[in-house]
Amino acid sequence: MHDATNMHTFAGIGELAETTLQLLSLDLQYDAVMGERRPASRQVKHYVLQQARDHMSEVREGFVFSVRTPQISSRREIRFLLERVLTDWENLQEELGLTGEQADEIPPEEMGADAYDRIQRVRSQLLAFGMASIALGYLPRMAAEQITFPYSHGKPPTYADIPAPDSPGEMLWRIDEVNRMLWEVMAGDARDLVKRRYNAVRRVYGFFEASALLASRETRRFGLKS
């Protein structure tokens, strides 16, 4: 985690989380006050949210690399994960050159440049998943003064009712929910989405809020930001 590449990847994920959070906050608050959307902001909005969706795809791939059978407690969850992960794992194996004889352990110095670069990609995916996992675990413990969700009903506001994922199946469901809701925010009206999918919007907003907060704290600690 302490080498330069990982540190800058970490900082980049934090900046993306912060930008996504700011966009979600502005979009929700603007619709709440003005009741209409600003056409000039649509292109920027789609660009930022697509970046966030690309990041969540990396998070999902990191999850696929991380999940282990002993972590799974029920046949129902095994079936759920197999339906959603097995195909992804096969595709990733092929993409990264981990199938057949290529799956044997090869010292980095004996790898071709392309193969070694593909293997290094796994590090960023695992880092993305690790950060997402920590953020989802921290979310219910966020202090009231750290919460900015503009439609919070609680006084003081809290995310304590949003449980941390406690199994691989729950983790995958939460990761996929973030990706789905980002797409819905891109395609729809924020006010209408809050009315229809309040809890999901709140969970996704809170996820990016926790991610931005933790990343900001750690980048200051490591001296990447003042």
pLDDT, tens digit, 9 for 90 and up, residues 82-110? 666 655 555 655 555 555 444 445 454 45
pLDDT, tens digit, 9 for 90 and up, residues 111-127? 454 544 554 566 778 88
State mean pLDDT over 145-172.
92
pTM of the model: 0.78
Phi, psi angle pair for 163, to nearest 5°? -70, 150
> In 3D, which of 210, 24, 40 has the Cα closest to residue 133?
210
State mean pLDDT over 198-222.
90
CA max distance for the chain: 61
Residue 75 confidence (pLDDT): 64
Residue 89 confidence (pLDDT): 56
Residue 192 confidence (pLDDT): 83
Average pLDDT in the chain: 78
pLDDT, tens digit, 9 for 90 and up, residues 58-69? 999 888 877 765
User: For residues 69 and 46, what is the distance between their CA atoms, to the nearest angstrom?
Assistant: 37
> In 3D, which of 126, 102, 166 has the Cα closest to residue 6?
126
Which residues fall within 8 angstroms of residue 22, CB to CB, at 6 or more apart? Answer: none
